[in-house]
Chain A
Amino acid sequence: MAFWAGAAALALSGFFLLWLFLLQLWLLLQRKQRESALQRWRPLLMSGLYGQPDVLPPLSRLDLPHVLALWNHLHESLGIEARNSLDQLAGQVRIPAAVNRMLQKNSLNSRCLAARTAGNLQLASTWDQLLIILTDDSPALSLSSARALVQIDADRAIPLLIPLLSERTNWRYEAVLEVLQIAGSKRVAGPLLHAIGAISGHQSWLLLRFLLEIAPAEAVPLINRILSRPEEDERLLNACLDGLTTPEALEAVRALARHANWHVRVHVAKALGRVGMHEDGALLTDMLGDGQWWVRYRAAQALSLLRGMSIDELRHIKDIQTDRDARDMLHHVMAERELKEACMAAVHE
């Protein structure tokens, strides 16, 4: 048995060498194929941007992925007129039919590329297939499908997408934001607000972050309402405090300055630094005595940012502190400000 095991292992190693050769050959052919496809199709696509070329060669199956990648790249980087030309050109070489076929394939790359193309072409015929792959485990594929659905019919797509936002934890934040931005704030704000009210706190903070990015003005009443409930989930409170841009909810923010969770206190200090009044200086000075370094640091920063706070007043607050930690922190933040100015001066020089 040992002999045969050894011999088989050596034979398999030899086979691996052959495999390495074949792999190299395949890579080489792939590269050549890509180069030749791009050499043939790039001028045609470019000329298609300014008017339809007279004769278009048939699009072969081998050329298809390379041409689609280039077509999508151009479609996503150019203006509306060029897009219309590209759409016409795609119709001439039967890209819509190819996309329908590709969406049913097993290959992840092919389906992603097809979903992207379907979205750019606004191919309504692919809607059902895109709905199926929207629930796929792969974040790349499901997000491509989400984007395509929004491009095809945003009004129908958004109600389907919003419930998924809190469930799909593997969807990248930026990618989701991009999809929502394609739909536009008017279409997204309402369903998002409704969803935030409907689901529990620990899931709604993510939706609130999206709302704050897409339609910050729409979020103000909701933020004020949530901040008046200190028992809310910590992440939801933090998201609200981060999104606070008006002083309407200042009373609620001040009340949170003694929240049991120090992360919330950090966000309170930051929010006060942004929207607080000069009289919030006393509260922030109190926060300089907090046990958490980060609360002290943010409170000192907020103090230095408060409206009407001069450097002399800040120095005075520092000098009258009896707590060494509070004094050191103010000294630190003042030095940081000077350093920042020195850095800016160095950059300008």
Chain B
Amino acid sequence: MNEQHLRLDPVLGHGAGPVPADLAEGLSTDGTPLALHYDALFASLPPPPPAPRPEFDWGLVLASFQGALMDAVPLLQWFFLLYFFVFYGSFLFFNLASFLMIRRSLREQGADALRAETRHVIPISIIVPAGNDTEAAIATVHAMLQLDYPEFEVIVVSDDPQGQQQEALAHEFSLIPFPEAYGERLSGMHVKGIHASTSYPGLRLVDKEGGSRADALNAALNCARYPLYCNMGADFILRRDSLYAMERAFQRGPDVVAACATVGVANGSALQQGFMGSIRCWVALFQIVEHLRSVRFAPMFWSRINAMLITSRVFCVFRKETVLAAGAYASGALNEDMELVARIHRVSRREHKHYRISHVPDPLCWEAGPESRDSSRTRYMDEQTSLLQSLEMNRQILFNRKSGAVGWMSFPFILLFGLLGPWLEMLGYAVMALLWLSGLISGQAFWTFLLAVIGLGVLHSTSALLLNELAFPGERKFSHTLKLYGVALLENFGYRQMTAFWRVMAIVATRSPLMRTSGKGVANCSRSRITVS
């Protein structure tokens, strides 16, 4: 007998359908025997029709989605608002805290009546990778030779395969071949020869085979004689006594392994009656305001808690032995100093070394900022790509037990606001605009959001300008300061959003497989820019 044709007694409450195995065996769930009958009529009945499937109701789905969205709208609003509050709030805090530190440090310097001549200084090696631009390299070397410092040497590294650059440098500085006992502590491309100047004691040229900028720096480090060194960008303009100011940071103790100063923007500027001249190029003015609000003050705060990471172009002096112990320059790094500083933190923390990376607040170094929108975009994209690479190469710091304030404060901060910040910023604007356009939030809510975000942005920029004037009074003419104030207002209406977009695009371009495989990605663009300098 087929068990499907067994019908249970209706009192048991079962309907049609297959009988469970235990019941088919004639036992109830409590173990008592069941009375099973064969019901022919029941067996002849057609199987009951399947239960009707519910029809897909788009309206219902949309309504439930809208319901969920309506529930999420206040959350989204609060999320983005909170993000912007935390972002601007933290920068305002850093700027204010750093300002107080800088003012104290500058007052200390100003009050020091015993600033007699400094004889006992730590000698410094200045490394100038010549790159591709021979004229710029020659101009840089001439500028370096005029620095006011008792003991320094200049090492120029040239890797021109044609040898024309080496010839031009040799002609300009009376360089002759020198039988240097080259100690190759760092391996790299073959060094063809070393030349020394008969006119300028302390000037040498390292002639090597072509390689990366990091390779050039490592070759120069092999030749460097002095305990401190700096890596000179060919477009840097240094104050004549800048090496004194940098060296003073190292006088505070042997644990100071690096000192960094931010690089100001000085397009078309010349000293006019003791003031920085007015800049007419608007793109450069935007760059100055950006420099003031983002990098002029905050590094001082991070330096105080020994957690300074570099996020833009800086002028750094390093202790050579520390750099060598950390493995010197990584050949793939886009911004060598940026990556090196992160690595020094990582290695020193890992090995429980006492170390300190100092920030020098004095305005010591300037460079020509981009003057067109295209070059400005390239600069922003380069910086963002370098930052991503530097953080990626040293990601072990993040939330590492041993990494202290770097791993638990500055690294996450830069990750959240420096790297992911532009994404969240763009997303914030886009989402709020979409919500408004789809009628999910009122126009009033949208405009209030914009008022808050732009208001805080304006506050951030203008406060940085004010703090700069308070810390370094009389640095600029008042008319120039007013112009910068105007720019600090204006930049929040499009310029900031545009730079955030460029930063987003930099990461997209780096992560795009097409860009990576074609070899024409941002990384390569930035490499050539840095090399050309």
Listed in ascending order, the chain A residues whose CB lies under 8 Å from chain B are: 2-3, 5-10, 12-13, 16-17, 19-20, 23-24, 27, 72, 108-109, 112-113, 116, 138-141, 143-144, 147, 169-170, 172-175, 178-179, 293, 296-297, 325, 328-329, 331-332, 335, 339-340, 342-343, 346
Chain B positions 241 through 256: 1 when the CB is less than 8 Å from some CB of chain A, otherwise 0: 0000000000111000
Minimum CB–CB distance for A114 against chain B, Å:
11
A2–B449 touching, CB < 8 Å:
yes
Minimum CB–CB distance for A67 against chain B, Å:
15
B111–A332 touching, CB < 8 Å:
no
User: Complex formed: what's the CA distance from A12 to B488 in Å?
Assistant: 14
> Given A169-B253, A174-B118, A174-B120, A108–B108 Cβ distance below 8 Å?
yes
Q: What are 30 pairs between A and B in contact, CB < 8 Å? A: A3-B451, A5-B455, A13-B462, A13-B489, A20-B465, A20-B478, A20-B481, A20-B485, A23-B466, A23-B470, A72-B113, A109-B107, A112-B111, A112-B112, A140-B111, A140-B112, A141-B111, A143-B114, A170-B252, A173-B120, A174-B114, A174-B117, A175-B116, A178-B114, A293-B181, A335-B179, A339-B176, A340-B201, A343-B199, A346-B174
B179–A328 touching, CB < 8 Å:
yes
Minimum CB–CB distance for A146 against chain B, Å:
9
Minimum CB–CB distance for B201 against chain A, Å:
5
Listed in ascending order, the chain B residues whose CB lies under 8 Å from chain A are: 81, 85, 107-120, 174, 176, 178-181, 183, 185, 196-199, 201, 251-253, 448-449, 451-456, 458-459, 462-463, 465-466, 469-470, 473-474, 478, 481-482, 485, 489
User: Complex formed: what's the CA distance from A10 to B454 in Å?
Assistant: 9
B454–A325 touching, CB < 8 Å:
no
Considering only CB atoms, which chain A residue lies closest to B108 in the complex?
A140
User: Complex formed: what's the CA distance from A73 to B201 in Å?
Assistant: 36
A10–B458 touching, CB < 8 Å:
yes
User: Complex formed: what's the CA distance from A3 to B446 in Å?
Assistant: 11
Residues of chain A contacted by B117 (CB below 8 angstroms): 174
Count contacts between A and B, CB distance < 8 Å.
142
A108–B107 touching, CB < 8 Å:
yes
Considering only CB atoms, which chain B residue lies closest to A5 in the complex?
B452
> Given A10-B459, A342-B198, A3–B481 Cβ distance below 8 Å?
no
User: Complex formed: what's the CA distance from A143 to B111 in Å?
Assistant: 11
**Told that A9-B456, A173-B120 touch, could you supply 11 new A-B pairs with CB distance under 8 A?**
A10-B458, A108-B107, A108-B108, A140-B108, A140-B113, A140-B114, A179-B114, A328-B179, A339-B201, A343-B198, A346-B174
User: Complex formed: what's the CA distance from A179 to B252 in Å?
Assistant: 19
Considering only CB atoms, which chain B residue lies closest to A141 in the complex?
B111
| Among candidates B85, B120, B201, B474, residue contacting A5 with C-beta atoms closer than 8 Å | B85
A10–B455 touching, CB < 8 Å:
yes
User: Complex formed: what's the CA distance from A9 to B81 in Å?
Assistant: 14
